[in-house]
Amino acid sequence: MIEWLAGLTGLLPFAHTNLVLQFIEHNALLVSVTAFTHLAFESVPAVFFSLPSEAHSASVLPAHSLALKGRATQAFQSVLRGLVEGLFWAFLLYSFSFIAYPALHPFFKEWSWLALTALCLAFFWSEKRAWGAAVFLLSGTLGFLCFSFFSNALFPLLTGLFGVPLLLGSSGETVEERGAAELKPSKNCFLGALAGFFSPLLPAVNPALLASSAFLFLERSASSYLFFASALASSKMVFDFAAKSALGVSRSGAAAAFDGGLFEIMAGAAALLASVFLLFIFSRQLAAFSKTLNNPKAFLFAVAIAVYWLNGFPGLFVLASASCIGLLALEAGVRKANAAGALILPSILYSTGWAAWLVALLMG
């Protein structure tokens, strides 16, 4: 029961799984169940209130576009559906990961920077506008400084880049909710699970980066993107635990604290399914409740308080700086996906080893 209650902290966007595990005595079973249930519940603030988390970062953008059309329930159910389908594909690939990871890990460790650089160039090529490159480089510089000199900077960084511009651009007016469209199976769930499979092989890569990068290649459908991003999030959880067993490497805080096996992973998956079932039942009520709280100024104040509590004044500085870059993307009319530079550029620098040199240079 305590594991499921710990997972409920996902309703608080700043309460990362790593933070929760610091306050409870945990074993492998509790780590798995907490991480999986947290993954389900943190979709609520991401979809309904545009407050991103690591797993559901860029999802706030397509979810917000659907909410503006009265499709918030559809957006939420798409996320829940993607979590379940991603889990399904992850377990089909689980056994294969113990064969593939030891064979592929040396190659990816050596050349992952090249894939990230190609991804960076793809962003520039797809935008073909100077403002897009400016947003990418500015967000990348801010991301590098945050990850190098601040702790727990991901929440204010992602919220400033993706969440605050949406809140500032919101009029506060509510749109009458339409009936949720029928959710059909999507190939993007498999693609998301496949991205989750390879994610443990890429150092310094998190689901926020992978999901943001998908903007370049997926069809222009908000629901399809939500399928991909949420399937990626749930499958990555499975494969992070698998990589801990197969390679002894930890790609997340939950994986670092995990020392179990398939039984504990399956228990966490069962908790995720139960959480998704509960959230799906009450999805319409959650959408209606979110509209009664549709006060952008109040949310901004709450976000600032949360950031100050978590990071103090440095966190507020990160939030303000990231918000300016997010607003620049909005005013310049470039794709907000360019703000993924906050994750891609630092990943390149850390993968190539240049990050240590730059940090030493900045510190004199």
Question: 3-state secondary structure string, the chain?
Answer: CHHHHHHHHHHCCCCCHHHHHCCCCCCHHHHHHHHHHHHHHCHHHHHHHCCCCCCCCCCHHHHHHHHCCCCHHHHHHHHHHHHHHHHHHHHHHHHHHHHHHHHHHHHHHHHHHHHHHHHHHHHHHHHCCHHHHHHHHHHHHHHHHHHHHCCCCHHHHHHHHHHHHHHHHCCCCCCCCCCCCCCCCCHHHHHHHHHHHHHHHCCCCCHHHHHHHHHHCCCCCHHHHHHHHHHHHHHHHHHHHHHHHHCCCCCCHHHHCCCCCHHHHHHHHHHHHHHHHHHHHCHHHHHHHHHHCCCHHHHHHHHHHHHHHHHHHHHHHHHHHHHHHHHHHHHHCCCHHHHHHHHHHHHHHHHHCHHHHHHHHHCC
Q: How many CB atoms lie within 10 A of CB 114?
A: 12
Section 176-184 average pLDDT = 57
pLDDT bucket at 25, cuts 50 / 70 / 90: low
Identify the band that residue 352 occupies on the pLDDT scale cut at 50, 70 and 90: confident
Residue 109 CB contacts under 8 Å (≥ 6 apart), including other chains: 201, 203
pLDDT at 178: 59
The yes-or-no verdict on residue 19 having pLDDT over 70 is no
pLDDT the model gives residue 7? 47
How many angstroms separate the Cα of 266 from the Cα of each of 92, 290, 345? 13, 32, 35
Q: Is the pLDDT of residue 308 over 70?
A: yes
Q: Per-residue pLDDT tens for 36-59?
A: 988 888 888 888 877 777 777 767
Q: What is the pTM of this model?
A: 0.81
pLDDT, average across residues 110-121: 75
Mind listing the pLDDT tens digit for each residue in 195-214?
889 888 876 566 666 766 66
Q: Which carries the bigger pLDDT value, residue 323 or residue 183?
A: 323
What span, in angstroms and rounded, lies between the C-alpha atoms of 168 and 330? 11
Per-residue pLDDT, averaged over 87-109, amounts to 90
Q: Which pLDDT belongs to residue 206?
A: 64
pLDDT of residue 4: 47
**135: Cα within 13 Å, side-chain hemisphere:** 28
Q: Are 225 and 47 in contact (CB under 8 A)?
A: no
> Whole-angstrom Cα distance, residue 129 to residue 335?
10
Question: Percent of the chain having pLDDT more than 70?
Answer: 80
pLDDT confidence of residue 8: 52
Position 217 scores a pLDDT of 63
| CA 97 to chain CA mean position, Å | 22
Confidence band (pLDDT; 50, 70, 90) for 10? very low
Average pLDDT across the chain, whole number = 80
In this predicted structure, what is the pLDDT of residue 32? Answer: 85
